[in-house]
Structure 1
């Protein structure tokens, strides 16, 4: 399997990929990702070079967004002063479930974060999805805190405020990595 940067022409495929994941989550009783993701926001992250795809042959097996930008309102100023990279939208195709592909992608992300001089690989997870939180804990992440206050957009409860981190470090992930070297992070 190989990992590549997503391209603008992959937009419709990645949106469909997310819809597949949302349907599966709904079957499990979770409301995670029940609202469609705005295509323009996904396209912007693709163009920024932060969306990556795992290909198995010609098919997409998984996707991950890895960015040096934290979602606003989640991390403290002290935490943001430490060089970090943030995982978003990690999704594995149902056809590839149960093969530790998500764990390998997290290892790839941690290795990439290390190569970018990050201290931490961080993420926020769906606040009510205990299964997902347990998964991240099993992957070596440590729960930092859960942010529950309303967000600035609609005043409702924050749905993705379970925060976790693990040290960024070099690790063998097993992918043929066809991504450019990450830009080095500096102290903020």
Structure 2
């Protein structure tokens, strides 16, 4: 089993840093022809509202620089529609700062989300990725997610037109 990341709950004071990291990654995606995120489409005010609901978690290094962030929610009707009735830990906005890539932080963050999901008695993780992002589709498949279906990207996002909905069943830990 992969060790969980040292994530902590984000506060409103972290919203600017989280939105800034997302914009950095969005700019990189646009510059590299990846239609996933668009700079500016996820403002700090929205992140602040989500942190107030306890949805964002982050990882800072010893110098307090943001290393990674992730949003974990328990319902996701915008992306999953009627299938949202299924209890799951929905992963959104998994981000690793570019200078920290290649250190296997993604699997640790996914495991952190799995641990929180299992702690709620839920045995299913879900996420989405751009349908035309073959690299992320392959990555999430390697992390144990299976592709369930493709659907239209909901508003207000506009980085792509379609997303693939993916799911991973979690095995509860027994002592």
Which ranges in structure 2 are unaligned for 5 or more consecutive residues? none
Shift of 1:128: 2.1
Deviations along 1:55-90, one digit per CA (max 9) or x if unpaired, are 221221100000002142x3253x433321100000
| TM-score, structure 1 normalization | 0.79
Find the counterpart in structure 1 of residue 49 from structure 2.
44
| TM-score, structure 2 normalization | 0.84
Q: Distance in 2 between matches of 1:159 and 1:83?
A: 26
Which ranges in structure 1 are unaligned for 5 or more consecutive residues? 172-188
Q: Distance in 1 between matches of 2:61 and 2:69?
A: 12
Shift of 1:95: 1.2
Change (3 A) 1:93 1:169: farther
Of the three residues 44, 47, 58, the one matched with 1:53 is 58
Shift of 1:112: 1.0
Shift of 1:106: 0.5
Q: SS where residue 2 of structure 1 aligns?
A: coil
Find the counterpart in structure 1 of residue 130 from structure 2.
126
Change (3 A) 1:111 1:160: farther
Change (3 A) 1:12 1:80: closer
Q: SS where residue 32 of structure 1 aligns?
A: coil
Change (3 A) 1:55 1:157: closer
Q: Distance in 2 between matches of 1:17 and 1:157?
A: 16
After TM superposition, the runs of 4+ consecutive aligned structure 1 residues lying more than 6 A away are none
Shift of 1:153: 5.7
Find the counterpart in structure 1 of residue 68 from structure 2.
62
Contact (CA 8 Å) 2:36, 2:159: kept in 1 or not?
no
Whose helix fraction is larger, Structure 1's or Structure 2's?
Answer: 2
Find the counterpart in structure 1 of residue 10 from structure 2.
6
Contact (CA 8 Å) 2:89, 2:124: kept in 1 or not?
yes
Number of paired residues? 167
Of the three residues 86, 96, 100, the one matched with 2:100 is 96
Compute the RMSD of aligned alpha carbons: 2.3
